Structure 1
């Protein structure tokens, strides 16, 4: 199956292998060490989530609070950067500035999920200051958050559908209806391939997305058999915590 290649530099590779929150087997997700580990493994794409502190600083962190992954506590949006920067992921690694993730590896492509309204302005400003437009994909469960972020940028970035857009695409695909309108504002879909134990992504969906010139990236896939099945279905990218395993699978297929 021919894979889609939207007209943006972010997509100028045959297949997008995304290291989910970097690569760490030690619980240090979304740390600079995890991102460096992904780069050392040969990854040119990483995925991260973005939040804004109370004083407007963009950080690379999945959760809205510091509680789960760090030795500190509190909602990031209610704390100043001076407090957040003292937190340690796994008791070891500092919470990184998004600007540092974008600036440390000038060739690295970064998928950024805008997780909350507080992140809109700080994330846009971090992209602007680093000039990372050609190697950033802005995503969000909320289409409104994505649009607000992208609307603050001076140059286009890659974009991915929000939950409501993806839902319209999926329903349209299942019912045999037109699907392009659901994706007209984005370059593609970044979606789970199943809900619970029920697979929802079909080869028909992939084909319809490709017919519309959109890519399909799937998260979060950590099993070899599932990776193989999705590659057989023609997806354009896989997001994985097991970056090492994903590389093995792609190397075997000549897609690395």
Structure 2
């Protein structure tokens, strides 16, 4: 009797394992056709030494020897990113004291510009007078190759939206202030529906939660949603049921975690597409924060053959050429 029970138990376990495999193997999934969706982080920007970065590190002061003269978060940089092959360009925003959104990365003005103080505590009129290339140096302050060349180059979000009316944008909210989510929702809700579907917003949990409440059709991402989607899908995605954190969002997938995702790549990507979620693969995660992107030919080669999801990169020209 005991032997028969063990036999039935073994058959049941095998049947369950087979069902899980068939429900999740990508070998039996229809291949997603098309080229990868390329996201240019900060458009085309100056690269910097990423060793030991902290939240308050002045990256302009550790710029690598420049290979071009583009400055991040400028109209010119964004246009160059799209021209190089980007499908999406990422921009950073801060609210201003005169009701605008400034497109600028840093929490303060002191590192990158000739201004001083917290970015959001200034008017857009004032920040239009700043030199956003002022602080860049690749030799410890001996020379500043972009000083004087960035005056008036900090755009508003309205300028970006009007300059690129049919382009896809990823907007990064730099604060944890829920009122910023309200202000941004007011801007985005004023756009036509066909424009809003080309926008994704990510940032702190609090402003993103508020934005979701006020503009529920906008795809979003926050640290909480990213971790919730990733861990939830690894935990029970084999059932085909998606966590709520995986619906109508952006999902960032560290390339070293991708093989652990049920149905990777094609079945997984199809599930996310059906949930109106855009997936971008980023560099490997090792416990100290997400990598910045797929930036080299060696890293690109780690993607599956004929991969058709999203790729997050700081080197759009390199990756776009590899895709071609």
Per the TM alignment, residue 97 of structure 1 is displaced from its structure 2 partner at its CA by 0.3
Is the 8 Å Cα contact of residues 42 and 89 (structure 2) preserved in structure 1? yes
Is the 8 Å Cα contact of residues 20 and 239 (structure 1) preserved in structure 2? yes
Residue of structure 2 in register with 1:126 after alignment: 187
Is the 8 Å Cα contact of residues 54 and 76 (structure 1) preserved in structure 2? no
- Distance in 2 (CA, whole Å) between partners of 1:47 and 1:123 is 16
Say if 2:278 is the partner of 1:215. Answer: yes
TM-score by length of 1: 0.77
Say if 2:211 is the partner of 1:152. Answer: no
Per the TM alignment, residue 62 of structure 1 is displaced from its structure 2 partner at its CA by 1.9
Alignment RMSD: 3.0
TM-score by length of 2: 0.63
Unaligned 5+ runs, structure 1: 6-12, 252-256
Residue of structure 2 in register with 1:113 after alignment: 172
Q: For 1:236, which of 302, 306, 309 is the aligned residue?
A: 309
Residue of structure 2 in register with 1:254 after alignment: none
Per the TM alignment, residue 40 of structure 1 is displaced from its structure 2 partner at its CA by 2.6
- Distance in 2 (CA, whole Å) between partners of 1:60 and 1:218 is 25
Structure 1 54/200 Cα, relative in aligned 2: closer, same or farther at 3 Å?
farther
Q: Deviations over 1:33-89 (max 9, x none)?
A: 101211332433211122111333112222222223323222112122222222222
- Distance in 2 (CA, whole Å) between partners of 1:51 and 1:74 is 13
- Distance in 1 (CA, whole Å) between partners of 2:96 and 2:304 is 38
> Which has the larger strand fraction?
1
Residue of structure 2 in register with 1:50 after alignment: 93
Residue of structure 1 in register with 2:199 after alignment: 136
Per the TM alignment, residue 96 of structure 1 is displaced from its structure 2 partner at its CA by 1.0
Residue of structure 1 in register with 2:232 after alignment: 172
Q: For 2:39, which of 8, 11, 18 is the aligned residue?
A: 18
Residue of structure 1 in register with 2:112 after alignment: 69
Q: For 1:60, which of 99, 103, 107 is the aligned residue?
A: 103
Unaligned 5+ runs, structure 2: 1-25, 46-67, 135-148, 283-292
User: Alignment partner of 2:302: what SS?
Assistant: helix
Residue of structure 1 in register with 2:130 after alignment: 87
- Distance in 2 (CA, whole Å) between partners of 1:54 and 1:4 is 46
Structure with max Cα Rg: 2
Q: Aligned pairs, how many?
A: 236
Is the 8 Å Cα contact of residues 229 and 251 (structure 2) preserved in structure 1? no
- Distance in 1 (CA, whole Å) between partners of 2:258 and 2:111 is 30
